[in-house]
Structure 1
Amino acid sequence: MSDGLDAPLLHGDEREIDLVELERAVQRAAVDLQRIVALIAQPYLRLLRQGTLGHWVPAPTWRLLVEIEEQAFADLGFQGRHAVAVRNGFARLAGSRLTGPNLDAPVDWQHDDDPLPAIYAIMRALVHEIDTSKHLNRHLY
């Protein structure tokens, strides 16, 4: 029976976890998850980037974030590239109280719970990056 760890994460016959390799595996998975989320959220992020004065783009809803989370963690490539223990180590929206009872409510980007669900943190960074670049571009012209 498997314990969900890949062989490279284990050290020696005693099956001790190699913490350095585990940390590297988590970092690789986090970068991979960021890439996958950016691809899945691309239609919404494109709207944010293209939004100009006079064109209102609605804030993302919790439902959108939950759907992105489901798609990202169900991605077969992501599952195949990362050990179960690494994938299961990410905080998830599905297991948090951040979403509240109304999934159609706009996302509140002000949460700083520890740990933040991975998808929430990734999407917040992507939205913030777009907002910052739009703000800078307005001041340049």
Structure 2
Amino acid sequence: MRLYLSTLGKNPIVFEIEIDKKYCAKTYIEDYKELILYLEIKYDPNHTFKPVDLFEALNNKIPKKFQRKPNCSEVVSVASKRRRVEEADKIYFCGWRNNPTGYNISEMNIEKTRITFGDKIAAMCKLKNVSSCWTNISSDEYLKKINDLYSM
């Protein structure tokens, strides 16, 4: 599982943190120096900033009750800043494609499905050989089709 920390603005910086099954964060941050620059942390001879400091600060700021869940397009958009996502410009879910005999769901499509809908849906797509379909046109997004997977 991954946690994405994203800055705001037109060109956000996205930091990716691995989270294990017990919801514990791995303390290695790939872009550690970029994070230090972004947070504008200055050198302090009395205290060396460590990733654990960031995690403790984050832990103290995480609300007890989750207020807003990102939509599919936001998840794909943020994840594509850190991961190689199939057709990264196509962030709007528009349905499922039942692949014909001889054609298989691509590993990249499985990964995009996993990022957006989770491991269970991605595994079901792989088992049924069904690809998630995406568009770059927001008005074509059709989230009601998500549950159609169960009837395929």
Q: TM-score, normalised by structure 2?
A: 0.24
Specify which structure has the higher proportion of helix: 1
Greater relative contact order (Cα 8 A, min sep 6): structure 1 or 2?
Answer: 1
What is the TM-score of this pair, normalised by structure 1?
Answer: 0.25
- Quick check: which one's strand share is greater? 2
